[in-house]
Amino acid sequence: MIHRFGKDVPFEGSLQRIEDALTKLEAAGIKIHKQSRYRKVVSEYEKALTAKASSLSPGHINWNLLAQGQCDATELQVIVSCQKLLEEHPRELQEMVKGSDFPWEDSPSRPRDVQFQLYITAVVSLAGFPVELCEPDLKFWYQQEAYSVAAKRVQRLDRLEERLKEAREQIAKSKIPGFIALGISQIARQETGTLLVARPDVLWRAGETISADLVEDRLKKLAHKTYDPCVIGYFVWITIPSVIPRLYSVGFTANFRSIYVAPAGHKCFSVSEEICKRVQDPQCI
């Protein structure tokens, strides 16, 4: 199943989305330092809005930071819309707001790993499934049966197979069949960087071809090639930002794809298919 969406978000709208999410986190008791990666994005948006209003050159704006802020904001919005996480997981939310400005600077990568884990938890919860944070990363129930999820962010294409193996081993160790959730945005960013486009009408869908190539031509083939009976499907999340500096425009292409790999006739095939139909990023609806 493929659920895709994209937006060319006005600067004012982008800033408001992030500020609203941070307000919800603070209302839940999460302390967000003024030098946190989220606050830096807010500050850069404010600087860009001032420059835009004064008709200044966009050359001094940190467009990479704004583009990364868009990607983080798409996950953050979903996380703060899940009341269960706000009420029951303050420790994980506090860990999430740490980290470097960019994923490739993270050492360790735990804050963004936690962000992705919470994002997937929120997506599954908002799809109507009871969910619990536990090994391998989360567990949910469907028709009174438990299913596990191992969430992995993949930074480089040459590590994809290794990360899939780690996830399969985690699911096998849990002894609960389930899904591998993959965040592969960084693979696309490494290959393309932030996309510079010329026309506003293609801003939000500039990354569609790259997304299709990564998922259809590489990941899907690898998922079937490395089939393991304990893994009945995949949830794949990818966001690719794009900008038009001269117009002060930032957009993004986002894809949430689900792949069910249980063979037709397998006892988990229909279950996997039904779950994959229901689990999607609510922003895609």
pLDDT tens, 21-37? 999 999 999 999 988 99
The amino acid at 255: N
Mean predicted lDDT score pLDDT of the chain: 83
d(CA 147, CA 179): 8
Q: What is the mean pLDDT of residues 275-280?
A: 80
Q: pLDDT value at position 253?
A: 77
Q: Name 138's bridge partners.
A: 133, 149
The reported pTM is 0.88
**Burial of 5 (C-beta count, 10 Å sphere; 0-12/13-18/19+):** middle
Task: Please tell me the distance from the alpha carbon of residue 156 to that of residue 21, in angstroms, as a whole number.
Answer: 29
Residue 9 β-bridge partners: 250
Tell me the pairing of strands 231-244 and 178-183. parallel
Please give the DSSP secondary-structure letter assigned to residue 85: H
Top pLDDT among 240 and 4 is at 240
Mean pLDDT value of segment 7-34: 85
Q: Which amino acid is at 261?
A: V
Q: How confident is the model at residue 100 (pLDDT cuts 50, 70, 90)?
A: confident
Nearest 10 degrees: Cα torsion 166, 154, 254, 177: 0
Of the given ranges (44-58, 167-181, 200-214, 230-244), which has the lowest mean pLDDT? 200-214
Residue 283: predicted pLDDT: 62
Distances (CA, A) of 214 to 175, 183, 189, 207: 30, 12, 12, 11
SS3 per residue for 168-229: HHHHHHHCCCEEEEEECHHHHHHHHCCEECCCHHHCCCCCHHHHHHHHHHHHHHHHHHCCCC
Give the per-residue pLDDT at 159. Answer: 86
Question: Cα dist. 156→65, 160, 209, 242 in Å?
Answer: 20, 7, 18, 20
